[in-house]
Amino acid sequence: MSAPRLGQVEGPSFEGPILGDRYQLVARIGAGASAEVFQAYDHRLNRLVAVKRLRSGFANDPRFLKLFRSEAHLAAQLSHPNIVTVHDWSDGTDEAGGRATGTPYIVTELLTGGSLLDMLRQPLPLTASQVAFIGLQAAQGLAFAHEQRLVHRDIKPANLLFGRDGRVRIADFGIARAVAEAAWTEPEGVLIGTARYAAPEQATEGSVDGAADAYSLTLCLLEALTGQVPLVRESALGTMVARQSEDVPVTGALGPLAGPLAAAGRADPARRSTATQLLDGLLRAVQDLPDPEPLPLIDITAMADGGAELGTDNGAGPAGEPTDMPLPKADSGPRPRSWKWFMAAIVFVALAGGALYGGMVVGNAQPETTVIELAWPRFDVPDYGSMTAEEIVAAAEEQARWSVEITERYQDETEPGEVLAQSPRPGTRLLAGDQIGIVVSLGPELRVVPRLVGLDRQAASDAIVSAFLAVGEVVERSDEEAAAGQVLEATINGTPARPGAEFVTGTTVDLVISSGPAARTVPSLVGLTVDAARGEAAEQQLELAVTEAYSETVAEGQIISSDPEAGAQVARDSTVSVVVSLGLPFITVPDVTGKPASEAADILEQAGFVVTDTEGAPNRPVLVTDPPAGESRRKGSTIRIVVQSN
């Protein structure tokens, strides 16, 4: 069967290839050097979407795929009225082995109002008020993304898309960086969008922040105002060289817009306005501008199956000229109300933190549209909080043929499938055929397990808490290698908590902490020689400290005592002090000269000597002793007494 017209849903019997067992390609609505864009039918949620399928060459570039996965994951979490909603994505590899099984693609909301590039191809130029209106919305989307630390890196007219409501959405968050870093030029050196609108710092290897996006948006707005992109040379290299030292030229002829655009077009990113500052500058500028005219929206149904790619490249052919294509028809879009209303809407979004709401421009329908809509019945929006996404889609269709825009995100303290927010709020009177926005939980945030093994206990606990996980049971275990307090194991539910693994917020991480080497038992050393004692101590990985002392009970050379005593538990490599016997102590022979021999014998024996002989009568006075008085002998040594003769 033939493909349905863009925007028409005829049921799940479409013909065409199916991606991911879900998205059936219906009609090609754009093509460029790096990707093709298709209208597709989502069989799971019964809705039309846009599928951007990258060229097959990207599937074989490991560096691109790695960056694509990271960027697409972040982009899918963005939820803001001025950023294209990313529903799904695939890197084109199988889940098991990481092998390329197809081409990478990304699934977004389907927008049918064309791009800023399409508007710039129309014969009538945009007015300053229209450009400011576009710039305010784009700057607001960039400011929100930069708050989430996500930089686009490829802002250009083809990436500023419009819905039929006239609202600007920034496209290609999630693949712009990956595609931009894969190649800077087309074959034969043709200057493409990536370099044509690039900030000067993007030509270097340094880091790029949100200031680069503000610079690129400024070039887009200046092109919309003047018809020319400033500081463009014949080659990408020449362009980037020129932008290194020259600020973007902005003249006073641009009126109130000159100041904020000049500040955001400075070559030095440190002096350049951020997206938030550019937004503030544009808000001040529009106070001196008239209300904006209706935007010349482009009906991209005229571009189906041919034409320039939307939101990937600049639609230029090999020579840099637009490719031959049916000229899309312009359509005056919804007319914004006064600047006062628009600024109030921006303040609302800033306070709401970018949450879903009924649409910044949807409420600005031009009078003709309003008259038509008033003829339709209005219905009260119910509270969908207790329903599943599938139930909400069915109920909305049955009640008033409302389409449902479903955004999924992780949020702590929620259950998967839980409705987190809806827009409009319950009780709002809504026209039949309008759109409901639902935010559905994917469950608690997934947190990455940090590296824990090898850290000390405090550092590991801090890392766990910083990762929004919880410290669970902490047990100690001896280890011969790890120092006391060092983490030996980290587990979650009994399995190793490997670094990089993802678990929901608050998951408990149990730790095993080293208590150091196992304790040693002091062996029995008393009575051993020093050499024997050293051997016993070495077997327990203990050291021996030796001191000596005289002993009347322990033989010379044997250990008298140990400290700690045998059986005590001590740390490995501890020192055990032992006392080694020097044998009996030495004593000095007392002077007993002149004393009766019997008395002298008593004195000498009390001193510790053994009297073996007395030469002479025991009642005669002592003449000398052998050994003589004053000499030192071991206790227990023998001594002889010699008495005086008559």
Integer Cα distance of 434 and 123 in angstroms: 33
CB of 208 closer than 8 Å to CB of 199: yes
Angle (CA) 27 182 248, round 5°: 95
Integer Cα distance of 285 and 479 in angstroms: 69
> Left if phi > 0, otherwise alpha if psi is -120 to 50, otherwise beta: which for 276?
alpha
Helix %, strand %, coil % for the chain, to 5?
A: 30, 25, 45
Q: Residue with structure tokens 């600049």?
A: 314
Q: Residue with structure tokens 């149904």?
A: 301
Q: Residue with structure tokens 């990113």?
A: 269
The 3-state secondary structure of 312-342, one letter per residue: CCCCECCCCCECCCCCCEEEECCCCCCHHHH
Taking Cα atoms as reference points, which of 391, 408, 407 lies closest to residue 399? 391
Q: How many CB atoms lie within 10 A of CB 536?
A: 17
Taking Cα atoms as reference points, which of 377, 484, 510 lies closest to residue 432? 377
The 3-state secondary structure of 93-125, one letter per residue: ECCCCCCECCCCEEEECCCCCCEHHHHHCCCCC
Six token digits for residue 292? 């904006």
Taking Cα atoms as reference points, which of 509, 628, 498, 520 lies closest to residue 566? 520
Taking Cα atoms as reference points, which of 133, 104, 84 lies closest to residue 34? 104
Task: Point out the residues that are catalytic.
Answer: 154
CB of 488 closer than 8 Å to CB of 453: yes
User: Could you tell me where the DSSP H helices lie in 185-308?
Assistant: 193-196, 210-226, 236-245, 258-264, 275-285
Integer Cα distance of 283 and 608 in angstroms: 112
